[in-house]
Amino acid sequence: MQNSTIKEGKTLAIVSYFTFIGLIIAIIMNLEKRNSFTSFHIRQMLGLIIMLIFSNLVEEYVNSLLGTAFWIITFVAWLFGLVHAIKEEYKPIPVLGDKFQEWFKNIN
């Protein structure tokens, strides 16, 4: 991708990783510009929110220890995504990142 595209979308890509509210802000602000770098990281964060909901459901209804393990995995994946947004890289989260891009491909 072009370096200018990454530079323009970096701030919103980082904002998308700061809670659900940051994600909503990034989505709304990216509607006009349609920056591909920002969209990539928005899709990653949407997947992370699904992972977080899944870990909470597992913790509540299946097993507390297993849910906590999933939460830790989600947190590490969140850090991974945030660090790569800061480093201006298109690097998907290991294992599920490519699936998140596929599942949420309509978000441009």
**DSSP state string for 55-108:** HHHHHHHT-HHHHHHHHHHHHHHHHHHHHHHHTT---PPTTTHHHHHHHTTT--
Number of CB atoms found within 10 A of residue 7's CB: 12
pTM: 0.86
pLDDT of residue 10: 86
Say what percent of the chain tops pLDDT 90: 59
Q: pLDDT tens across 29-62, in order?
A: 999 888 889 999 999 999 999 999 999 999 889 8
Q: Is the pLDDT of residue 65 over 80?
A: yes
